[in-house]
Each structure stands twice: as C-alpha cells, then as structure tokens.
Amino acid sequence: MALFGTDGVRGLANRDLTAELALNLAISAAHILAEVGAVGEAGSNGRPKAIIGQDSRASGEFLEAAVIAGLASAGVDVYRVGVLPTPAIAHLVAETGADLGVMISASHNPMPDNGIKFFAKGGGKLDDALEAKIEARLEEKWDRPLGADVGRVVLDESAAERYIYHLLSSLSTSLTGIKVVVDCANGASSRVAPKTYERAGAEVIAISATPNGININDGCGSTHLENLKAKVVEVGADLGIAHDGDADRCLAVDANGNEVDGDFIMAILATDLKSRGELVNNTVVGTVMSNLGFMKAMAANGITVETTAVGDRYVLEKMLADGHTLGGEQSGHIIMRQHANTGDGLLTALHLMQAMKNSGKSLADLASVMVRFPQVLINVKDVKKEELSESEPIQSAIKAKGEDFGDKGRILVRASGTEALVRVMVEAESVKDAEEIANEIAALVRSELS
C-alpha cells in the first residue's frame, strides 16, 4: 500500500508513523528533490535549506527530531520554526527561497495520529510522481556527507511574526468594529490566530487556544463546532471562526450560530471578487464534493465552477494550470492564489471578515447567495476500499440512482485518501431522499467490500 495519501504520509504516531520512517522519508526527500532539480543551493555554505514546523501534538516532538536528523545528515541546513500553521510553512519556504519545507501534522485527525507533508521550492506541495519517487527510494544506500558538509540546525525565532505580517499585508481594510470568536482547536493556530485578528482591528475572543500536546482537535475546532456556536451566541459576536489542527481550514458560524461551510465561504469570496473585477476568468475551482447548491449559485452569478478530485493540492494544480485565483473545498480549505500558494485558514478568515466590513452586511446576509442542498455523508468503515472501483454492483447502483436524480441531486462514492474507509455522499432536494439513497448505497458497499 502506498505511504502517501492525498495530503502527505499519515498514520498512528509511533506505530504506523515511526521515528525511523520519518528519518528515512526526510533523507529520501532530500535526495529526490535534489536529483529532479527542485533543490538548489539556497542555504548557507552552499547547502540546501529546509523549513520545518509542526502542530501541537506531543508526537510532533520526536518526529520533528527524526526529520531534522534525516535532513541534516543528508547535508541540508534546517530552520526550525516551531508550532505554526501548515500554510505558514508554505509561505516561509517561498519567502526565504528555501529548497524544501516539512510540516509535521495530521490536520483534523485525532491526537494519536500524526503526519508528514513536504513542500517543494516555492512552497507548493509535491505532486504524485515526486511522492512515488521518494517512497521508492526509502532506505537505499547513499554517500553520506562528512565534516563541514553535514547540515546545520537553526531556530528561526522571527518566523511567526513574518507570517503574521504576510497575512495582514493582504488586507485593504481595517476590521475595526467586528467581534469574532475564534476556535483554535488547541492546535497550530493557537498562538497566531488571535494575535493576527486583533492586529487586523477585530475584537477577538479565543477558545480552545491552550494546547498541551494532548488536546488538539479534542471536541473542538472545525470538526466540532458546538462550542463555537454556543460562544458566538453567548457573547453576541458577529461571527465565529473555526480552524482545524494545522489551520489550513476555516469554517465559520454566523451571529445566530448557523454553520457557514467552505462552499458558502467560497461563494461569498467569489461573488465579492467578481463584483470588484478581481475574479480571474470569472471562475472558481471546487471539488467533486462541492455542494450542488454552490454550483447552482455560481451559475446564477455568472461564475464558472471547475471541479477536481478531493484534496487541496489537486485544486491548486488546476488553478495553476488554468490561471485561476480562487478555489477550495467544502471542508474549508480555501486557496486565494493572489496571496498564497496553499489553503490558509487564517487568510480565508481575514478576507471573509473584510467582505463583511466592506459590504456592511452580516455573515448571514452574505451567505444567502447560495442555498445548500441537503447532503448526507456516510463513512463506511472496515471495508476493502481499494476494491471500490472494481465492484460492478456498486458502480451500477450509483449510475442508476444518479440518472433518477437528473439535475436535482447527485451521488458520490469514493475511497478516503487519508483514512481506511469509503465515503458515501448523497445530495437531494429533501433530506429524506438523500438519507434513503445514502443508506441504500452504504449497505451495498458494506456487503460488497467486507
């Protein structure tokens, strides 16, 4: 089975993702990127340079040490930036001209998991071909640098401030007058998100912003909005912002405690950009999971939607290929390419609040640009997900039900790229119809793939 999923290498820390594997991945990545010309000589003393960060998981500490050891032993100078969001690493790689970036995080996954994702020169995520080469070369024999040729390790203490400056410089409006509650998921944004929003002018109330290595994503953040909804209503905030463990996601809550997911946020940003003549090609890039209501809303506003496979790197690939500047996912990964080359939850939140400020409208008013089709998502666990595409009964059922829907609903069944399960998603005009068909297909998946 391939090590790399849709977003790096993930697994249960110290069982699936061990220190030994982290060390070998780092060494192999250094070698492969050098060979394909993605690594130059940006570091001191003619050595390549890498930026490494992590989220707040306890396991990130030993995994960081292993990755640093692997890179430095391969002759790479390593700059440690500590606990920062994933998009901060992407930005710092581009800002410093570094040859490689490494983020240690399992994003929204539970605390016992962890992951390693790599960024190439310029801050972009690695494509599938490069990841396959890294995996193929694990534990190969190699000539080790000696003496002054080994890499050095440096603590970069100004990295967080430089990232915050980058975020704030993207704004054209002060956020004074906006009251926001931010749920940091006890993760990578706990230090920088409240500080950034305050410096932008907003009144900020932070919750789940005291990470202890164990409590990341534990009943909080973008996958658990209950506390945020309650707090927004309790304090009379204009909105709430929820980040996931590594803060590349942003979900929102309006003043009444209603969820505003990534599709709504993209719809708000897309129509705002179009009204100012700044939406390149009048096109936004979504994924196969984007809600049908989003598709219809964009069409009604003269905006084209291009779709990709699930995963923000696939969204970015499409954006780069066709020159689009806005794209993202229902889960809250939003890419604003005029300011960043990866999904950035803090950047998204700032521009969502700026759209509120510039329009003088509430978040609920802005979100009314689209009507969400009821969506039912069932995760079918403990099945042979790799056999999904070969199952004729499942594929036939999906096709038949889809034809019955016409343009009034849709069905998507896919194997998860980050977890051991199959996702069954159904959208319809009524919750009842969506639930009935989703349950029927999920039962078929269980019986066929068990």
Phi (first) and psi of residue 432, to 5 degrees: -60, -50
| Residue 433, CA atoms < 13 Å, CB-side half-sphere | 14
Which of the 8 DSSP states describes residue 145?
P
The confidence score (pLDDT) of residue 389 equals: 85
- Cα 313 to the chain's mean position, in Å? 9
Q: Indicate the SS3 state at residue 254.
A: strand
Q: Is the pLDDT of residue 165 over 90?
A: yes
- Indicate the pLDDT class of residue 44, thresholds 50, 70 and 90: very low
Tokens 């996958």 -> residue = 223
Q: Which residues are known catalytic residues?
A: 107
Q: Does the pLDDT of residue 127 top 90, yes or no?
A: no
Question: Which tens digits make up the pLDDT trace of 307-320?
Answer: 998 888 889 989 99
**CA distance linking residue 365 with residue 352, whole number of Å:** 13
Q: What's the Cα-to-Cα distance from 307 to each of 285, 286, 374, 393, rounded to whole Å? A: 6, 5, 20, 26
Q: Where are the domain boundaries for CATH 3.30.310.50 in the chain?
A: 375-449
375-449 maps to which CATH number?
A: 3.30.310.50
Beta carbons of 102 and 67 less than 8 angstroms apart? yes
Residue 404 — very low, low, confident or very high, per pLDDT cuts 50/70/90? confident
Percent of residues, the chain, with pLDDT higher than 70: 97
Kindly report the pTM of this predicted structure.
Answer: 0.88
CATH placement of domain 4-157 = 3.40.120.10
Domain with CATH 3.40.120.10 in the chain: 4-157, 163-367
Cβ neighbourhood burial of 155 (10 Å; 0-12, 13-18, 19+): exposed
Find out whether 102 and 52 touch, Cβ atoms under 8 Å.
yes
Render pLDDT for 50-105 as a digit per residue (tens, 0 to 9). 999 999 999 999 999 999 999 999 999 999 999 999 999 999 999 999 999 999 99
Q: Which two three-digit tokens encode residue 42?
A: 């940006």
Whether 332 contacts 348, CB under 8 Å? yes
Question: Which of helix, strand or coil describes residue 94?
Answer: helix
Report the residue count for the chain. 450
pLDDT one-digit tens code per residue, 281-303: 999 999 988 999 999 999 999 99
Other C-beta atoms lying within 10 Å of the C-beta of residue 82? 16
CB proximity list for 392: less than 8 A, separation 6 or greater: none
Pairing type for strands 409-415 and 334-336 reads unpaired
Q: Would you state the pLDDT for residue 43?
A: 43
Q: How confident is the model at residue 39 (pLDDT cuts 50, 70, 90)?
A: very low
163-367: what CATH class? alpha beta
